[in-house]
Amino acid sequence: MGNVMINVEVAYALPTEQKIIALKVNEGTTVYEAAKLSGITKIYPQIDIETDAMGIFGKAVKDPKTALLNEGQRVEIYRPLIADPKEARAKRAEKIKAQQAAQQ
């Protein structure tokens, strides 16, 4: 029996664009291997597949090098956060309050 091939996707999103690469890989391929095989780092050299967080359909995987993929799954490579989300929300809320106070 030959190798069983499965269809997966590798996705990366910027604020202005998103790239999804479809590929066939051997059953038993890890999240990390699929990211590497996709060649996505040639398109987005800022991706560091050794350290960037990855997930499957929006759910982070602890270790991309051991997490196995199943047919039809999409690997997502996450950009590092620039600001703490809690802090960013607080700053937006503060800005809105200041604008509302200025209008009164």
Each domain of the chain, given as residue ranges in start order, spans 5-103
Whether residue 6 is predicted with pLDDT greater than 90 in this model: the reply is: yes
Whether residue 69 is predicted with pLDDT greater than 70 in this model: the reply is: yes
Calpha distance 40→19 (Å, rounded): 8
Q: What is the pLDDT of residue 3?
A: 83
Written as one letter, the residue type at 14 is L
Q: Is the dihedral of CA 35, 37, 43, 46 positive or negative?
A: positive
Q: What is the pLDDT of residue 8?
A: 98
5-103 topology per CATH: Ubiquitin-like (UB roll) (3.10.20)
- Condensed to tens digits (0 to 9), the pLDDT of residues 12-58 reads 999 899 999 999 999 999 999 999 999 999 999 999 999 999 999 98
Q: Provide the pLDDT confidence category of residue 1 given band limits of 50, 70 and 90.
A: very low
Sequence-distant (≥ 6) Cβ neighbours of residue 49 within 8 angstroms: 32, 35, 36, 41, 64, 77
